[in-house]
Chains A and B, each alone.
Chain A
Amino acid sequence: MNAFVGMPSFPKASSKSVSDAQLRHNLRKATHTIRAKRALVVDEQPDWAALRSAGAAIKDRTLRHLDVYLERLEEAVTAAGGTVHWAADAAEANRIVTGLVKATGETEVVKVKSMATQEIDLNSALEAEGITAYETDLAELIVQLGDDWPSHILVPAIHRNRAEIREIFLSKMAAWGRPAPADLKDDPRALADAARLHLRERFLSARVGISGANFAVAETGTLVVLESEGNGRMCLTLPETLISVVGIEKIVPTWQDLEVFMQLLPRSSTGERMNPYTSMWTGATEGQTFHLVLLDNGRTSVLADEVGRQALRCIRCSACLNVCPVYERAGGHAYGSVYPGPIGAILTPQLKGMAGPLEESLPYASTLCGACYDVCPVAINIPEVLLDLRSKVVTRGHHGQRLAMGAARRVLDSPRWLAVAQNSAGRLRHWTPRRLPGPLSAWSDTRDVPRPPKESFRQWWATR
């Protein structure tokens, strides 16, 4: 998340993106398309509610006995010829990976799209050691070429449209390898072809591949990557050394458990019945060296929180982003992290702690409309966690707000004072300002303030 260091608070960042009409158009179009596709394939699954409960239950059981399953995973991976490394935080994970790459003598690596390596900003760490990391997922490639940040978990370049992608390819591809054809059109096929040719050179020359994993099966030591393009499979199979950075919450206990998630994940994320490429590998395959880096980076402290720990069930499907009305207007960058949208609003402040204004503002980046909870395939009650985080934020200061809230509570907790307040509002109704003062002015900038009535309901009832 280092790339996002120094981000302004959510209200500030989002007010900037809200005024970007092109961005709002791109986001609306993309999220509404995926949203509709998801709804269609979820509705056709008669046992969706049962699957969802099973997904939540499996994840909860795993988290309850995480220590046991982690050790089981380590044993299985080691037995299958892999090497397991433990990383307490981003710096340690980056140190391990960088060390492993340097030991191979290589200065280039190909990457499978991975949230964990984004989270620890591995690419920058590698770059600092003279190693170039090439993103091979089409959307990640767009982000990397554009010197940009991802803004969506599944579709990192969702904020870009075809014309913008064409521009990026034309102006930047040459500096990274094979240039884009000069007559490049902006239709999806032409863009994909340009990316395919550009990436093919990478796949065939790379000796080190770096990935994450969607799931890690404790029973067998198997890692699982789901993807749509097949680029991941190229990176997983062609290089001589494979390094996978995996969050410790990615475990499922048994092979059988995958059945549930293989149904939940594609339908929730891409709106497909099954995803095009599912790669599974156990330990080191012949002729390949395999390293698994198990990443904590704040996860054990999330696990310690009774309400917040449900966020660790997340399988990164991004269904919550695609239905979130706030994400749709604010865009992913406003969340200041590789985890945007509703899940980011609860994950970032928990993983990083309430480290500053951004983390403190994220629990408030929601209207609590509940659409995210409805679509979550592992039933993370995001509104519940947001509310819990808010109660933690307010214990840390916010004096003005606390005074206002205290005063409001004292009035509301006394029907007599409430009546007095209502009475004076009624008597002063003709002086109700069109523009409200102080922080309330934000409201009256775009809306007319209702004029208080002559008498409150309470007064009417008393004279009835």
Chain B
Amino acid sequence: MRVALFITCVNDTLFPGTGKAVVRLLERLGCTVDFPAEQSCCGQMHFNTGYRDDAKPLASRFVSTFSGYEAVVVPSGSCAAMVREWYPSLGISPPGGVFELTEFLVDVLGVTDVGAYFPHTVTYHPTCHSLRSLKVGSRPLDLLSEVRGLTLVPLGGAEECCGFGGTFSLKNPAVSAAMCSDKVRSVLDTGAEVLCAADNSCLMHIGGALSRQRTGVRVMHLAEILAATEGDT
């Protein structure tokens, strides 16, 4: 199956490892991955901050870049939610076939065992937009529970927002930091080595605090865990 990858501007610039993992994973599952170079950003940051006129050209760019594809894979719950849920309120129809990564794996490819091996203790943060806008449900956990060697430990208060919220973390730094510190405490309570999520912006926020507090807990995008195999260890 031929799929287009929308990498998202944050992943492209700061977390290229996630994109490489998505490519590796999809190719291992028999997909042909296309990366249209004209892509940039879904427009979420501008839209969520109130700058709709600035979000529009970015949304139009997304639509014109990805319209011809049968399936577009997005390794970010919030960017996928932006496209599917909010483009209509900008007067822009989203192209069909835009899938968040776990939706694509489970619903389109019909797999939960992606042949991954990752011998570590992992806890999963569902992220708000995956959870409530996209309603991806148990898909990420179904995928993780098939990973060989992986011990999945439940995260207390998993459904609570980590406090990132894009520009929220800049506009309301005190509340954002308080939410983050509660999330960090929940993560540490699990004793997991790795905090996993399907959105790097939330992981950057929680991971930044985990790192500042020298906790030793790593954050990893779900794609990186699903792409890992015996050869990596």
Report which residue of A369, A415, A448, A452 has the largest number of chain B beta carbons within 10 angstroms of its beta carbon.
A369
Which residues of the other chain, A, contact B13 by a CB distance below 8 angstroms?
A: 418, 421-422, 425, 452, 456
Known interface pairs A446-B209, A449-B208; A368-B52 also in contact (CB < 8 Å): no
Q: Which of A18, A24, A446, A458 contacts B12 (CB 8 A)?
A: A458
CA distance A24 to B7 in the complex (A): 39
Q: Which of A361, A373, A392, A412 contacts B58 (CB 8 A)?
A: A412
Q: Which of B18, B57, B163, B174 contacts A11 (CB 8 A)?
A: B174
Known interface pairs A10-B172, A413-B58, A457-B16; A447-B212 also in contact (CB < 8 Å): yes
A391 to nearest B CB, angstroms?
A: 5
Which residues of the other chain, A, contact B163 by a CB distance below 8 angstroms?
A: 325, 367
A461 at the interface (CB under 8 A from B): yes
Interface 0/1 of B126-147, CB less than 8 Å to A: 0011001100000000000000
A241 at the interface (CB under 8 A from B): no
Which residues of the other chain, A, contact B7 by a CB distance below 8 angstroms?
A: 457-458
Interface 0/1 of B180-196, CB less than 8 Å to A: 11000000000000000
Say whether A447 contacts B180, CB under 8 Å: yes
Interface 0/1 of A415-428, CB less than 8 Å to B: 10010011001000
CA distance A24 to B185 in the complex (A): 15
A31 to nearest B CB, angstroms?
A: 11
Q: Which of B48, B89, B176 contacts A390 (CB 8 A)?
A: B48
Of all chain A residues, the one with the shortest Cβ separation from B163 is A367
Known interface pairs A370-B132, A418-B40, A448-B211; A409-B170 also in contact (CB < 8 Å): no
A384 at the interface (CB under 8 A from B): yes
Which residues of the other chain, A, contact B217 by a CB distance below 8 angstroms?
A: none
Say whether B180 contacts A326, CB under 8 Å: no
A460 to nearest B CB, angstroms?
A: 6
Which residues of the other chain, A, contact B180 by a CB distance below 8 angstroms?
A: 446-447
Known interface pairs A412-B40, A443-B170, A452-B13; A329-B175 also in contact (CB < 8 Å): yes
A259 at the interface (CB under 8 A from B): no
Which candidate, B31-39, B91-99, B108-116, is the interface stretch facing chain A?
B31-39
Report which residue of A329, A402, A446, A448 has the largest number of chain B beta carbons within 10 angstroms of its beta carbon.
A446
Say whether A457 contacts B11, CB under 8 Å: yes
Say whether A329 contacts B204, CB under 8 Å: no
- Mark out the residues of chain A between 382 and 418 whose CB falls within 8 Å of any chain B CB in the assembled complex: 384, 387, 390-394, 401-402, 405-406, 408-409, 412-415, 418
Main secondary structure of the interface of B (DSSP, over half): helix
B203 to nearest A CB, angstroms?
A: 9
Which residues of the other chain, B, contact A446 by a CB distance below 8 angstroms?
A: 173, 177, 180-181, 208-209, 212
Say whether B12 contacts A450, CB under 8 Å: no
Which residues of the other chain, A, contact B152 by a CB distance below 8 angstroms?
A: none
Say whether A394 contacts B165, CB under 8 Å: no
B61 at the interface (CB under 8 A from A): yes
B9 at the interface (CB under 8 A from A): yes
B83 to nearest A CB, angstroms?
A: 15
CA distance A358 to B116 in the complex (A): 50
- Mark out the residues of chain B between 10 and 68 whose CB falls within 8 Å of any chain A CB in the assembled complex: 11-20, 23, 35, 37-41, 45-52, 54-55, 57-58, 61
Known interface pairs A369-B132, A371-B132, A450-B14; A440-B170 also in contact (CB < 8 Å): yes
Q: Which of A326, A394, A448 contacts B172 (CB 8 A)?
A: A326
CA distance A391 to B91 in the complex (A): 15
Which residues of the other chain, A, contact B11 by a CB distance below 8 angstroms?
A: 457
Report which residue of A329, A367, A409, A455 has the largest number of chain B beta carbons within 10 angstroms of its beta carbon.
A367
Say whether A19 contacts B52, CB under 8 Å: no
B160 at the interface (CB under 8 A from A): yes
CA distance A248 to B47 in the complex (A): 33
Which residues of the other chain, A, contact B179 by a CB distance below 8 angstroms?
A: 325-326, 329, 367
Of all chain A residues, the one with the shortest Cβ separation from B165 is A367
Known interface pairs A413-B40, A442-B170, A456-B16; A367-B128 also in contact (CB < 8 Å): yes
B205 at the interface (CB under 8 A from A): yes
A399 to nearest B CB, angstroms?
A: 13
Say whether A387 contacts B48, CB under 8 Å: yes
A148 at the interface (CB under 8 A from B): no
Known interface pairs A373-B132, A445-B173; A413-B49 also in contact (CB < 8 Å): no
Which residues of the other chain, A, contact B51 by a CB distance below 8 angstroms?
A: 391, 394, 402, 405, 409
Which residues of the other chain, A, contact B15 by a CB distance below 8 angstroms?
A: 450, 453
A365 at the interface (CB under 8 A from B): yes
Say whether B168 contacts A367, CB under 8 Å: yes
B151 at the interface (CB under 8 A from A): no
Pairs A–B under 8 Å by Cβ, sample size 30: A11-B172, A18-B178, A325-B160, A329-B179, A361-B171, A364-B168, A367-B165, A367-B179, A369-B132, A370-B133, A387-B47, A393-B50, A394-B49, A405-B51, A409-B51, A412-B9, A412-B40, A413-B57, A415-B38, A443-B173, A446-B181, A447-B209, A447-B212, A448-B208, A450-B14, A450-B15, A456-B13, A456-B16, A457-B11, A459-B16
* Additional A-B contacts beyond A374-B132, A440-B170, A446-B212 (12; CB < 8 A): A14-B175, A325-B160, A325-B161, A370-B128, A393-B50, A394-B49, A394-B51, A413-B41, A413-B57, A452-B13, A458-B35, A461-B23
**Would you list the 8 A-B pairs with minimal beta carbon distance, nearest first?**
A367-B165, A447-B208, A390-B50, A442-B173, A15-B174, A369-B161, A457-B19, A457-B16
Q: Chain A: residues with CB nearer than 8 A to chain B?
A: 10-11, 14-15, 18-19, 24, 325-326, 329-330, 361, 363-371, 373-374, 384, 387, 390-394, 401-402, 405-406, 408-409, 412-415, 418, 421-422, 425, 439-440, 442-443, 445-450, 452-453, 455-461
